[in-house]
A and B are shown apart, each in its own frame.
Chain A
Amino acid sequence: MIEVHGLTKLYGEHAAIRGLSFDIRKGEVIGFLGLNGAGKSTTLRILGCVLLPTSGRVVIDGLDAGADAHEVRKRIGFLPDTPPLYDEMTVGEYLAFVAALRGVPSRQVRARVEAAEEKTALRDVDGAPISSLSHGYRQRVGVAQALVHGPALLILDEPTSGLDPVQIVEMRALVRSLQGEHTVLVSSHILPEVSQVCDRLLVIHRGELVAQGTEEALAARMGGSGAVEVEVRGAAVQAAELLRAVPGAREVTVLSEQDGCATLRVTGDGELRGAAARALVGGGQELLRLDRGKHQLESIFLELTKEGRAS
C-alpha cells in the first residue's frame, strides 16, 4: 500500500526527517510514534501530499506521490494535527463540500456524508454550525472529512490531541472501527493509544526510524518480551516463588508491597499470562490483577529514544 524509500526533508540546514524507509501493507493500522519534534507530522504531511520531500520516494497504491500526486490524493484522506474546518459551515455542508472536492459524484455526496457521519457518530449534529462544536466533536468532524470519500489510505495526525479521557476512548474505538476497511496511519506521542489500536508501530526519533514492528517484537528486541504484571493479596515472597516456577519466566521483580497486597513483575519468553495465572491461583494466592504491564510500551519507547534524551 505504501512504500517509502530514503525520505528526507530539510529545512535549511536542519533535517526534519532523514532517510526514512518503510513499507505498510494494505489494511494495516500503523502507529507512528515519536516525541514532539521527532518528524512525525513532517512525514505524514509528505504522505498526505501536502508537503514535498527534499529527496526520497513515496509510492502509494502503486503510484508515485511525486509524479502522480493528483491521482494519489484521490486515494488518501488526511487529518492534520489541527482539523481543517470552516467554522461558518454546518457539519453536513462541510462534509458535502469536502466529498465533492475529492471527486465524489454529486448524486452520491449525500449518501457518503451520511455514511461518514454514521461512522463518526455525528448524525445528531449534521445541521449544527462547526463553530458551535466542542473540541471532541471538531476532532470527529476532522476524521469524517478524511474518510468521507472512502479513501484507501487514512492518515491521522494526532487524532486524540487535546481530547479528554472519555473522548480519547471514543476516538480509539473509532480508529479501531476503521480497521480492515482502510489502511490507517495514526501518529501519537501518547503510547497506550497506539499500542491498543495499531497492528504495528513505527518509532521515529530525531527524524530517523529507530524501530518498527509489533509491540511484542519491539519488546523482544529490548529484551522485555512477555512481561506480565500481577497484583495479589498476600505476601510478595510466596507469589514470587510461584512465579519463578512458571515455564519461560526469567526474572521476577517485586514492584510494591503495601496494605497486604503485592505487585510483581515477571519477564520471560513468550506469552506468560495464562501460566502465571494458573500458578498463582493453583498456589492459593488471591489474584487481584494480571496484565501485560501498563509501562511496558513506555519503557520500550523510552529505551529507544534514550540517546536523544540523554544528549
Chain B
Amino acid sequence: MRSAWLIARRELAAYTRSMSGYVILAVTLAVDALLFNTYALEGMRKSGEVLGRFFYVCSGTTMVASIFVAARLLAEERQAGTLPLLYSSPVRDVEIVVGKWLSGFLFVALMTGLTVYMPLLVLLDGRISAGHVASGYLGLLLLGAASVALGTLGSAFARNQTLAGILSGCMLVGLLVCWILSPVTERPLSDVFMALALHGVHFTPFQAGVIHLRDVAYYVLVTWVALFAATRVLEARRWR
C-alpha cells in the first residue's frame, strides 16, 4: 500500500495548492460556525443538547463537503489525461482507489478537526462529556469516510467533476431518503430501508454520545462497498 500513500500524499498536496481546497474548507467551517451559533446555541439548552445539535449540523456539512472534495479524485485524472500514468505504473487499481479516497478522507478529517473549538466554547457556560465529544467526532469521521467513498465511486464513473458531483450527490441522497421511506413502507422493505439509512438511523446515536458497533459496522461496510465498486469501475475501464 506504499503506492496508495504516495497517491494520497500527492492528492493532499494538490488540495493545498488549489483554490478549491481552501474554498471548500472556508465555506464549510463558516457554515458550521453560523449554524452552531443560530441553531445549536439557540435559546436556553442543556450542554449535552447543544453538543447533539452541533454534531447534527456538522453531519450535514460533512456530507456535502465530502461530495465536493471527492468529485475531483478520479474524474479530474480522466479529464486531465493523467489516468494512463497511474494505469501504466506498477500500481494496483485498488491502491489507486484507496489512495484517492484516503486523501479525501484526510482532508475531511482535517476539516472536522478544525471545528473542535465549537464544542470547547460550550465549556465557557456549561459542562460537556469527553465521551460525548469523542462519540460525536467518531460518528462524523465515519460518516465522512462513507461519504468520501461514495464520492470516489461517483468520480470513478464520471467523465468530469460536475457529473461526478451530481452522481455522488444522487447516491448520497438515495441513502439519506431511506430513512424517510422506511416509515411509509411495509416490512420487510421498511426494515431494509431502515438498515440502509445513511444518517437518520445510524448517525443519531453518535450524535447523542452513544456508540453502537452496528452503526460503526454500517459505515465501514458502506465505505468498503463503495471503494470495492470504484475499483471494479477502474478495472472495467481497462477494457475501453
Contact = CB atoms under 8 A, between A and B. Distances in A.
A102 B87 CA distance: 11
B84 interface: yes
Nearest to B91: A101
Instruction: Report the interface size class on chain B.
Output: 20 to 34
B89 A84 contact: no
A32 interface: no
A88 interface: yes
Contact of B238 (A51, A74, A89, A102): A51
B90 A80 contact: no
A139 B222 CA distance: 41
A78 B240 CA distance: 18
Contacts of A76: 88
Contacts of A102: 89-90
A73 B88 contact: yes
A50 B87 contact: yes
Contacts of B85: 84, 98, 145
Q: What are the nearest 5 A-B pairs in CB distance?
A: A84-B85, A78-B88, A84-B82, A73-B90, A82-B81
A35 to B, nearest CB: 22
Nearest to A129: B17
Interface in B49-89: 80-89
Interface in A72-95: 73-74, 76, 78, 80, 82, 84-89
Contacts of B7: 101
Interface of B: 3, 6-7, 10, 13-14, 17-18, 80-92, 238-240
A80 B84 CA distance: 7
Interface residues of A, number: 28
A251 B78 CA distance: 54
A73 B89 contact: yes
Interface string A1-44: 00000000001000000000000000000000000000000000
B82 A74 contact: no
A45 B3 CA distance: 22
Contact of A100 (B6, B13, B87, B88): B6
A137 interface: no
Contacts of A145: 85
A109 to B, nearest CB: 11
B6 A101 contact: yes
A107 interface: no
A102 B7 CA distance: 12
Contacts of B89: 73, 98, 101-102
Contact of B90 (A52, A74, A84, A86): A74
A84 B83 contact: yes
A62 interface: no
Contact of B82 (A11, A49, A86): A86
Given A80-B81, A88-B18, A101-B3, A49 B88 contact: yes
Given A73-B89, A101-B3, A101-B91, A84 B81 contact: yes
A243 B92 CA distance: 63
A260 interface: no
Contacts of A103: 90
11 contacts: A50-B87, A52-B238, A71-B90, A78-B84, A80-B84, A84-B80, A84-B81, A84-B82, A98-B85, A102-B90, A103-B90
B125 to A, nearest CB: 44
A103 to B, nearest CB: 6
A86 B88 contact: no
Contacts of B10: 86, 89, 97
A270 B50 CA distance: 93
Contacts of B88: 48-50, 73, 76, 78
Nearest to A76: B88
B85 to A, nearest CB: 4
Interface string A50-75: 11100000000000000000110110
Contacts of B92: 70
Interface string A100-117: 111100000000000000
